[in-house]
Each structure stands twice: as structure tokens, then as C-alpha cells.
Chains A and B, each alone.
Chain A
């Protein structure tokens, strides 16, 4: 269902742009039995976190939860970056940027 829905909508150029962002992305994780608590490749972190989330050890439950959110946040970031590279805008407006430390 998901595949047929998006196959019609997503251009292969966008898929390639996203894959490039995804493969180069790194995510900072908290220490757990499977992670040392350092910056790791996003693509590698997903497999380990999927297993860990399914069977969390009580002592690491909080860190596993934080790692899960960090991975999801990073995945969303790859979406935003791929879109920015792909969109080719006519105009970019930066507003209220004095209030942000992310710009």
C-alpha cells in the first residue's frame, strides 16, 4: 500500500538525493549495550536500535528511548536537507533568525 502510493509520487532524483543525505548522516547516541555513546552512522544505528528497542534492558531503558528519538529526529533532518537540495527555490526568506541557534 505504502509502496504503490509513493512510487507514483516520488521522483527517482529525489530518492537519490535523500539516499545520499541518509548515507552520510551521523547521529549522536547515548550509551547502551549496543552503542558506545558516540556519533555513529545513521544507517548503522537503525538496525541496532530496532533490536534494542524490541527488548530493552531495564537499566538502559531511558537511553534507548532517547536514542530512538535521536534517530527519528535525524531521519527527519535528512528529509529536510534532501528537499532543500532538490527544490531549487526562486526565493529563500529567513525570518526571525536572531532567535535561532540552528540557522
Chain B
């Protein structure tokens, strides 16, 4: 038997075992810890496709199949998330066409996403969780300003967006976007 055929059999066995574990009544957790190059991402993509099909059969019309993809590296994340959802895209015309959605923006996009068959929300702790110099995307900052306004009052948020303020720096003065927030 050729190496490639052996690999396909071994991957198929792994997929079946994982789907059985995740779809059963047990812990619903599975650790796949193969050596580099044995196709962990291929196995994961097949698992995603099978679970998607199970869900589509069992819970028709109950919103999109939602995957949260957590990865330590932004680069690996964007490459692998696309591969994860590829088998679903092949089956469903409504699966999200964008590469990967930011988990932090879920609330902003939930209503639009509800029309889709499947969505991958990516989350990279290195860029999303680290307390440091990273100040996020413009959409994240807009959403946070809105949430702060609803929580602390719009007057306070408008003050915070004034000249030389904390939020003005955060919004990013380089592109003149501060004007956008001055009238919340």
C-alpha cells in the first residue's frame, strides 16, 4: 500500500473517532496531537464537514453552524481557518465567503450571520487578549464606543472623544476618523 493511501485511511479513522466522540454523550472533547505533516488540519476540516452535515440534518433552520477557531498565531489562523471551512463551502452556497470573522465583532455581525449556513469566528489571544500596545481595528473601537455610551452615558463618551483625550488617541487621529465619533 502506498504512503498516501495509508495516510488517507489513518486520517479517515481519526475523523470517524473524533466525530463519534464529539457527537456522542461523553465529554465532547477531543485532543488530536499527531506529528507535524500528518494532516491535522485536513482531519479537522473533515470533522467540521461531518458535524455540519449532522447539524443540517438534525436542526434544520436553527441558524448557522458556528465554529470558534482559537489559534496562537494570526498568520496560521488565517491560513487554517480557510481550510477548515472549505468542505462546507463546497456543499453550501450560503457558507460565509469571507476568510475569517473576528470573534470580538460577533455582536456587530450576528444578525447578518444568521442568514448563513456556517461561519468561522477567529480568535487569536496574541492579538485579541494581550494587554499591550495593540488597539484593535476601527470596527472594534466603534463597537466599544457604542457599548461604553450605552453603559456610561453618551455625554461621557463624547467628552472622552474630545481633543487630546484617551479615546481620541485610541480612535486614531491619523486618518481624521475622530470627526466620525464627535456626534454619537
Residues of A within 8 A of B (CB): 1-3, 5-6, 9-11, 14-15, 18-19, 22, 27-28, 43, 46-47, 49-50, 53-54, 68-77, 79-80, 82-84, 86-97, 99-100, 102-103
The answer to whether B65 and A83 touch across the interface, beta carbons within 8 angstroms, is no
Instruction: List the 7 shortest-distance A-B pairs measured between CB atoms, nearest first.
Output: A100-B72, A73-B131, A102-B125, A83-B106, A6-B146, A53-B166, A79-B104
B106 touches A102 (CB 8 A): no
Max chain A C-beta neighbours (<10 A), residue from B103, B130, B156: B103
Query: Residues on B close to A: CB < 8 A?
Result: 22, 41, 44, 47-48, 51, 55, 65-73, 76-77, 80, 84, 103-111, 121, 123, 125-126, 128-136, 140, 142-152, 154, 156, 159-160, 162-167, 169-170, 180-181, 183-184
Q: Name the one of A28, A76, A90 contacting B104, with C-beta atoms under 8 angstroms.
A: A76
* Given A14-B107, A77-B128, CB of A92 within 8 Å of CB of B70: yes
| CB neighbours of A28 from chain B (8 A) | 131
- Which residue of the partner chain B has the closest CB to A68? B166
Interface of B is mostly: helix
**Given A80-B123, A83-B103 in contact, is the A103-B72 Cβ separation under 8 Å?**
yes
Complex Cα–Cα for A55 and B65 (A): 49
Contacts of A71 in B (CB 8 A): 166
